[in-house]
Structures are given as structure tokens and as C-alpha cells.
Amino acid sequence: MTPHVTRHGAAVTRPQREVLNGHKGLVLWFTGLSGAGKSTIAHAVEQRLHEMGCRTFVFDGDNVRHGLCSDLGFSPQDRTENIRRIGEMVRLFIDAGIIALTAFISPYRADREKLRRLTADGDFIEIYCRCPVEVCERRDVKGLYRLARANEIQDFTGVSAPYEEPESPDLILDTHVSSLHECVENVVSLLRHRGVIRDRT
Ligand code: ADP
């Protein structure tokens, strides 16, 4: 706790912002191996929601690591700190009534569970992009698996660092089986089912 720092109350409340936006604020937290489809799906879902008139924002792993978390590496401690900082930022976006979408490997179950506890009930929607490591490796979108196998990258999730699967995620997307379109529809259906969004046609 930081001494001599007092929180200010907001003159405009989260419920008021949500009324203005026409939907709840929350985070769609995509987790999974590198190449499992987190970024691709998060951006496609964002586009869909944007077209429906929702206020959205995507936080992408690489972008955050170039800025807010540029001082962090890939040790277990740094990975935990990376997710903690992102979690704090995402909470502000939720308070702003935004639908935040995040695409981080976030390999540790404990870190993801901490985020769930930090946020109010229903604000943290954990979406597991499930894909066998062999398929991710074949996709090798950024050429990182090849480097990891050649030992040119250390502590690479799925190769030389662990990934802890979610035990009870809100949604599982099998990206080696379902098409991108199906994955997007599954996310949108879940949001409709939970009353987060309504069609405005
Ligand atoms: P991540 O963000 O998890 O590292 P990316 O989204 O960068 O993964 O890459 C996933 C790759 O897999 C992309 O090249 C994408 O076109 C491909 N892909 C194939 N099927 C799917 C699917 N159903 N959902 C998402 N991506 C898919």
C-alpha cells in the first residue's frame, strides 16, 4: 500500500458509462500457446463487436512488451509481473465500461486465477485457445518455435517452459479443429448468452 495516496471517487460511475455504451465492461482473456490463435481471434472478435457498436480495445502481447513491460523478460517472476501489470491496466478499462480483449500466453494458472479474483463476478472471461503444440509449431507464425528448438530462445512456452492449461475456463476454442469464423461466433454467442451484448438491429 502506498502511503499518502488517496483514491478519488469518480463523478461518473461505471454503471453510467455502461448505460452510455449500451453494454457491460469486461475482459475477454485469451490464453494459450504461441501460435494457438489468441491474437487472430481477439482482433476478429473486436472487429465483430465494433461493427455491433461496442466499445472495445485489444491488448496484444508483443505491443505491451515493447512499452509498459519493456523492462521485463521471460523468467517466471517477470512473466507473473507482466500479467499483474496488464491485469491492473485491464481493470481500468473495465471500469471505463470497455470490452477489453487480451492476447497473452499467460502460462500460469495462479496468475490467471488472481485476475479472476481481482475482478468482479463475470468481469473476467477466460477463453482457452486450445491447440496441440505440434500444430502451433507447424504454423510457426513468427518463426519462434524454430529458434526455440535451435536453442536460440530460452524459456519458450511449450518447448522449454511450462503452460498450465485452464481447469475451468469460460470457453474453450479448439483452433486446430474449428475455423476462425466458428471461433468468433462461439465468443459472440457466449457474450449474448451472458447478456453482455444485444443485437441492435
Ligand atoms: P497467438 O496470438 O496465439 O500467438 P496468432 O493469432 O498470432 O497466435 O497465430 C495463429 C495462427 O493460426 C494464424 O496464422 C492463424 O491464421 C492460424 N489459424 C488457423 N486456424 C485458426 C483458428 N481457428 N483460429 C485462430 N487462428 C487460426
pLDDT per residue as tens, the chain (201 positions): 677 888 787 899 999 999 999 999 999 999 999 999 999 999 999 999 999 999 999 998 778 888 888 999 989 999 899 999 999 999 999 999 999 999 999 999 999 999 999 999 999 999 999 999 999 999 999 999 999 999 999 999 999 999 999 999 999 999 999 999 999 999 999 999 999 988 653
Q: Which of these is catalytic: 34, 70, 106, 179? A: 106
* Whether the CB of 139 sits within 6 Å of ligand 1: yes
CA distance 51 to 66: 29
Name the residue with the closest Cα to ligand 1, atom 12: 37
Q: Give the Å distance between the CA of 35 and the centre of ligand 1.
A: 6
Question: Where residue 170 sits, what CATH number does that domain have?
Answer: 3.40.50.300
Supply the range of the domain harboring residue 70: 14-193
State residue 57 phi and psi, 5-degree precision.
Answer: -160, 135
CA distance 89 to 10: 17
The structure's pTM equals: 0.94
The DSSP result for 24-55, as a single string, is: --EEEEEE-STTSSHHHHHHHHHHHHHHTT--
Q: Is residue 106 among the annotated active site residues? A: yes
Q: Are 34 and 158 in contact (CB under 8 A)?
A: yes
Q: DSSP secondary-structure letter at 196?
A: S
* Whether the CB of 97 sits within 6 Å of ligand 1: no
* Whether the CB of 70 sits within 6 Å of ligand 1: no
Name the residue with the closest Cα to ligand 1, atom 24: 180
Q: Give the Å distance between the CA of 88 and the centre of ligand 1.
A: 26
Q: Give the Å distance between the CA of 177 and the centre of ligand 1.
A: 12
Would 163 be classed as within a structural domain? yes
Would 149 be classed as within a structural domain? yes
Would 86 be classed as within a structural domain? yes
Cell of 152: 536460440
pLDDT at 1: 63
pLDDT at 194: 94
Q: Give the Å distance between the CA of 38 and the centre of ligand 1.
A: 7
Would 200 be classed as within a structural domain? no
Domain count, the chain: 1
Would 4 be classed as within a structural domain? no
pLDDT at 62: 77
- Burial of residue 197 (CB within 10 Å: 0-12, 13-18, 19+) is buried
Would 100 be classed as within a structural domain? yes
pLDDT at 176: 98
Is beta strand 26-31 parallel, antiparallel or unpaired with respect to 99-103?
parallel
Would 8 be classed as within a structural domain? no
Would 35 be classed as within a structural domain? yes
pLDDT at 175: 98
